[in-house]
Structure 1
């Protein structure tokens, strides 16, 4: 790039265009988001390419793809713009008692069962005007939704979300076997053989990391007799209640279903690694007062 660059060499608006192109990947979408024309965005990109000495984005059938240099700039620029935004708005505060803000939180159906009853009782006391909407935390769309500000927080087992995100651990979870209280295995105990011989319901929660359960069991040389596969946990309690199927589930989910569905749990005869449940947020929301309040509320309520 030649001589060192000075701040007066670059227009801050060009960095805003750069960040939007990283997120939107299409000139037309960036123009809409910034309230300007496509030629204006193209002109800004041309100026930015000249200043930085790199193509930055390459046109493909799937939109504008960032070059390695642009990818290397992505996180530092996002952090810098976030810091500037925070500084310009540092007098803004978030008052939960009077706020009517609507937050969107990504979580699985297990998360809804585990977190929402307690969280909503607490919000009724400390933030009666705040509303919560939940969406599924599938990593293929979640990254873009959080980058664009459509999702404020994500909670769960999400090992695929790394670059550009902050995270904090809430707690660890072990997996257990779950089945009805009068199941034939209830008195016999769970061994590798009885586990293998039993009929299973397998939960394929895409994008959450829970798919590693099947991988671990296969690597242990155990062949499960899977009679049913479902994409979520919400119906598992109902299914186990009236069948001889068994399921491998996180401990928190098992504890929430034992009494309502007449189920019991047992340790898995296969060693399955514990999972870490985390709260994740995008760098763009790191200094947002409302986001800070919500995630701190989650930590205080659910972390050990």
Structure 2
């Protein structure tokens, strides 16, 4: 086979191959023009260019129509295959078959969100997509945008108030804080007054290591302040720090319900009004229509809806 410089393909117009296939099927220049929705002069010009490109008459006019030459007949199947391959490559949508899929899903999330969502999500993967694996990483407002843009994670779940609302995010649920404490160690009953809450030292979650959080803004607005004894970057560490200690914490309600009872801790509503916060799922435009990523997002949405209904 002669060596062909791919630069020679610059002279090959894809529309000429489409015209060739249409003429092979219709055996008529006028019918080819109708099928391709072009004028007959344009159809005749396309045939002229094909003949010059391939150095062969290709189709000969006879009383029975435009009959293909032996060279045209030899080209018919390869050209059909080329057009089919191009069409499949450019326009076919990939599918996602959960039971047959082998892939890794990467999710960035706040640690408490991981704990709340990971268990039911793993159950779904084992039941519906046993060949899929899950990698969970901790993320926050400072790094989530970069992680999504670099493709380090498929999606993120958490509280991202600094990220503007857009088409590639979904509100999963609205979360509120609850008091969590060791009732025996703190000598408290089932309810906590504002004075009791303020009197106890607190444990808070802070990614940046601060000794204040969203609730402190609420307290300052009314002239109050609390003593923060411990700051940790992980929500999940807080229940363990509270056990057998005279400490108070305000934790997301879903985490409080899921874990604190198992550790012998008490929970109750905050003794003052406090704003709720939104937990959202965000993803990059790059994966917005990818079937596997779409399936994963739908499963997380369904899990959160079931939690709200429980």
TM over 0.5, shorter chain: yes
Alpha-carbon contact 1:178-1:249 (below 8 Å) kept? yes
The 3-state SS of whatever aligns with 2:292 is helix
Alpha-carbon contact 1:165-1:281 (below 8 Å) kept? no
List gaps (5 residues or longer) in structure 1. 1-86
The 3-state SS of whatever aligns with 2:142 is helix
In our comparison, the structure showing a higher alpha carbon Rg is 2
Alpha-carbon deviation of 1:179? 0.2
Alpha-carbon contact 2:140-2:158 (below 8 Å) kept? no
Q: 1:151 to 1:165 in 2, by over 3 A?
A: farther
Determine if the alignment matches structure 1 residue 115 to structure 2 residue 117: yes
User: Which is worse superposed, 235-244 or 178-187?
Assistant: 178-187
Aligned counterparts of 2:200 and 2:301: Cα–Cα separation in 1 = 39
Q: 1:183 to 1:189 in 2, by over 3 A?
A: farther
Alpha-carbon contact 1:165-1:280 (below 8 Å) kept? no
TM-score (norm 1): 0.66
Deviations 1:256-280 (A, max 9, x none): 2222210111111221111111111
Aligned counterparts of 2:91 and 2:196: Cα–Cα separation in 1 = 61
Give the CA RMSD over aligned residues.
2.3
Give the alignment of 1:137-286 within 5 angstroms: 137-162=139-164, 166-187=168-189, 189-206=191-208, 211-286=213-288
Aligned counterparts of 1:206 and 1:159: Cα–Cα separation in 2 = 16
Alpha-carbon deviation of 1:164? 6.4
The 3-state SS of whatever aligns with 2:139 is coil
- 1:128 paired residue number: 130
The 3-state SS of whatever aligns with 2:105 is strand
Provide the aligned length of Structure 1 versus Structure 2.
217
Aligned counterparts of 1:203 and 1:299: Cα–Cα separation in 2 = 26
The 3-state SS of whatever aligns with 1:182 is helix
List gaps (5 residues or longer) in structure 2. 1-88
Alpha-carbon contact 1:200-1:224 (below 8 Å) kept? yes
Alpha-carbon contact 1:173-1:274 (below 8 Å) kept? yes
Q: 1:199 to 1:249 in 2, by over 3 A?
A: same
Larger relative contact order (Cα-Cα within 8 Å, sequence gap ≥ 6): 1
Q: 1:276 to 1:263 in 2, by over 3 A?
A: same
